[in-house]
Structure 1
Amino acid sequence: MSRTEKEKMLAGDLYHAGCPELQADLAQTRAWLVRYNASLGLPASDRRRLLAERLAEVGPDAVIRPPFFCDYGYNVALGTGVFLNFNCVILDVVSVRIGDGTQIGPLVQILTADHPRDPEVRRSGLEFGRPISIGRNVWIGGGAIILPGVTVGDDAIIGAGSVVARDVPVGATVVGNPARAVAPRSA
């Protein structure tokens, strides 16, 4: 049985993003983002209701400060007390899970979307995604970039401006481009 492009996308397989079904989903998300990004002056409870309209899961006390940007929204799950500061970008062609109590600085990019390395396959317009999982009580500094397929362990710290291309172990502190482990600083 043939799968739709959306089914292929959600499975992390090669798919064509320009198919009508996915273009309709993107259009719905863009309309939702216009509403959400205009909500900064609204009470937190109203912004939370807006988040629940589009995201897969929104834990109690989860906050995203607008403006916020994503591809689909329905692949994003936020745990209890998650905080995303201004101008975060989540390219969520597959699952993005963010654990309880995680704090994410401004301008952070969480990117599940990936492209084939073979130039002929890439030229055909095919792409794929690899899920990202961010554990509990993680702190991600402003401007950091989390690349496709990365898992960040609980209690980890990612320094501002870091580019995270590999998994981050539980409790580790990583900085730089590419991000590498360093001894944690106190205070």
Structure 2
Amino acid sequence: MKWLRKKRVLLLLFIGFTAILFLSTNWMSWFYPIHYKTEIRKHSLTYDMDPFLVAAIIKVETNYKTGRESKKGALGLMQLMPDTAKWALQKAKLPDVSLDELKKEPSANIELGTWYLSSLSKQFDGNRTAVIAAYNAGPGNVQRWLSEGSWDGTEAAVKNIPIGETRHYVQRVIYYYEQYTEIYSEF
């Protein structure tokens, strides 16, 4: 009989804890955390970008793990390609930042990645889906797809993106973007 009481107590504790967890407004943030909030917020404000988009890009690129370098040579949290990073460093007027810093320093990488997203946003007239695709496949590819009509740049037509890796990338970034905007009322 004692074992039955213990089971009931444990069950009630579990139910109580679960109820508290699910009634909490922030419980989903345990499953979808955003790291480097201060840096993301700061650089998003500076470059007029949606911080949730920056966070979603970082989540998909590296899952917030610093020091990453891809097989293709992409650097840091936001996985900037070296040639793109060199170009962006000149255009953004951040001459004191090295490629090595972009790999190791989260704030420098987030700043340059956010600047680059802002540049893409201007190039694609704020079309978030095209910006995400361009971040992955390059703006030249996205411009070509749009001008040829193989993709219209909308989220509804993501399935028409000619490169499977980019199609999947856009879907993943949008997924995390939607999770973050639903979970976090503000950044």
Q: TM-score range by the shorter chain?
A: under 0.3
Bigger proportion of residues as strand: 1
What is the TM-score with the length of structure 1 in the denominator? Answer: 0.25
What is the TM-score with the length of structure 2 in the denominator? Answer: 0.25
- Find the structure with the greater CA-based Rg: 2
The higher relative CO (CA closer than 8 Å, separation ≥ 6) is in 2
